Structure 1
Amino acid sequence: MKETLQIVALFLAFFGAVTAFISLHHHTWKVSTDYGNVIITSNIFENLWMSCAEDSTGIYDCWYFSSLLALPGFVQACRALMITSIVLGMFGLIFTLVGMQCSKIGGENYIVKGRIAVLGGVFFILQGLSTMIAVSWYAFNITQEFFDPLYPGTKFEIGDGLYIGWCSATLALISGCCLLCVCGNDSKEERMSYPFQSQRRGTPYTTSVISQQPNHYGRNAYV
């Protein structure tokens, strides 16, 4: 059962990392709204890297942002958080593959493997938090501009890229929590049973040896 949960957590984390990569490169983090507009000539959609304009025929043209420093601060922060999220996800996958009990990578020391798997779960949780902060921060700015009656620029709505990012963060957080619960309990149980395992493997355990020594004295020897 525990190995099954580890495998499920690994697959969830893998899909979380893939969807985070898809969300980062998705074109529609925000889409221009039709609300309040009578005549719509083109749709504008943006992500962290580029802005695109689509005409009524469905043909669109994109251009990358010319300067990083000219971008708003929250866009730069979201870029950094999403890239960090993908890197953390890769580390989490590597550590989880090494620390899984059904994996032969890293030997058969299950105490060390359990700790490595726990570290992989920590990476997945950090990945989920980074993605969640990035997409939520970006969505907050979209909604803030949308409901601001004095905002002079083009108003946008939440795009598909943000929903993909929220799904990615949820998968990463679930997988990280599963690994922490399962592998953390495994490590505690294995540490408690380690002396008894050593005794079965031939390593003498002091209290067991003393308790197994025969008693050559009768009751009258203590009188």
Structure 2
Amino acid sequence: MWRRLAQILAVLLCILGWGFVGCTLAMDHWRVAQLGGQGGSSVVVTASYWSNLWKDCYEDSTALVNCIDLGVLWSVKSYIQAVRGLLMIGLCLGLIGTVLAFFGMECTNIGGAQRSKDRMLITASAFHLVGCLSDMAGYCLYINRVAVAFLHAKADASKMSYEIGPPLYLGLVGGFLIFLGATVQCASVCSVSHPKSRHPMVLFICERGEERDIPRGRKHICGPSKTSKVSRSIFPYQMVSVVTV
């Protein structure tokens, strides 16, 4: 029962994280820069710049937004294109992993035998982990570029200083949820495929055809056969067999 609950929880975590990552592709304010200063006792912001993976925008104090669409392939910056590719690869791998997880869950009637379903779950966990690494690599690359621009702006006042926006935090949370779900999913399979080790039993043939199971690595003493009373009287001092495996 606990195995089914763990698998359901793992799939829900992966789907939730996958949804967070997908939402960040369409969200604005990946990086934000505000222009203005303090006037009296309140902060007066005259304008703000923000960007995402698809456009750069300028918003003035009257909430009027003017945007410039970024290029699709060659006219866009290389790191923007790399982030797009990494996130899309992560989403595709996560989708494949989710489908395999549905086929491999114990509570579903599809997927074949239990061994085949366990293999599907392991494969789904691998797809989720690789997709999570791809997503995290894309977010870290973008954060690195924003941090570099921020440090350059601190050194040169003529350059604009950008800050990290909410989509990046949401994407990092989504990546963590995918990693957690894939780990729980893999653990639910490994705990059954590799149970706690016990002393294996080996077949031990005693004298006079007696068969007994003994733990490996222990000593076993076989006495004389109980089927014949004559043998007890004839061999009262029969040596016992001591076997160590």
TM band (smaller chain): 0.7 to 0.9
Structure 1, 59-68 or 114-123: larger mean CA deviation = 59-68
Please list, as runs of the form range in 1=range in 2, the aligned pairs for 1:72-221 lying within 5 A after superposition.
72-107=77-112, 109-148=113-152, 149-150=155-156, 152-189=158-195
Task: Please give the alpha-carbon distance, in whole angstroms, between the structure 1 residues aligned to 2:5 and 2:71.
Answer: 48
Inter-CA distance 2–34: structure 2 relative to 1 (3 Å threshold): farther
Q: What is the count of residue pairs matched by the alignment?
A: 205
SS of the counterpart of 1:70?
A: coil
Ranges of 4+ aligned residues in structure 1 off by more than 6 Å: 35-39
Q: Which residue of 1 aligns with 2:23?
A: 22
What are the Cα deviations for residues 140-160 of structure 1, in whole angstroms up to 9, with x where unaligned? 111111112138542210011
TM-score w.r.t. structure 2 length?
0.73
Distance in 1, Cα, partners of 2:121 & 2:174: 20
Aligned CA-pair RMSD? 3.1
1:57 corresponds to 2:62: yes
Long gaps (5+) in structure 2 = 204-208, 211-224, 236-245
- The structure that is strand-richer by fraction is 2
Structure 1 residues 66, 72: CA separation in 2 closer, same or farther (over 3 Å shift)?
Answer: closer
Deviation at 1:185, TM superposition (A): 2.5
Tell me which structure has the larger Cα radius of gyration.
Answer: 2
Conservation of the 8 A alpha-carbon contact between 2:37 and 2:45: no
Q: Which has the higher helix share?
A: 1
CA deviation map 1:45-104 (0-9, x unaligned): 111111122121223233311353232222111111000011011011101100000011
Is this contact kept in 2: 1:115–1:187, CA < 8 A?
Answer: no
Q: Percent identity?
A: 25
Q: Which has the higher contact order (CA 8 A, sep 6+)?
A: 1
Distance, in Å, in 2 between the alignment partners of 1:76 and 1:36 is 34
Q: What are the ranges of 5 or more consecutive residues in structure 1 without an aligned counterpart?
A: 193-206, 209-213
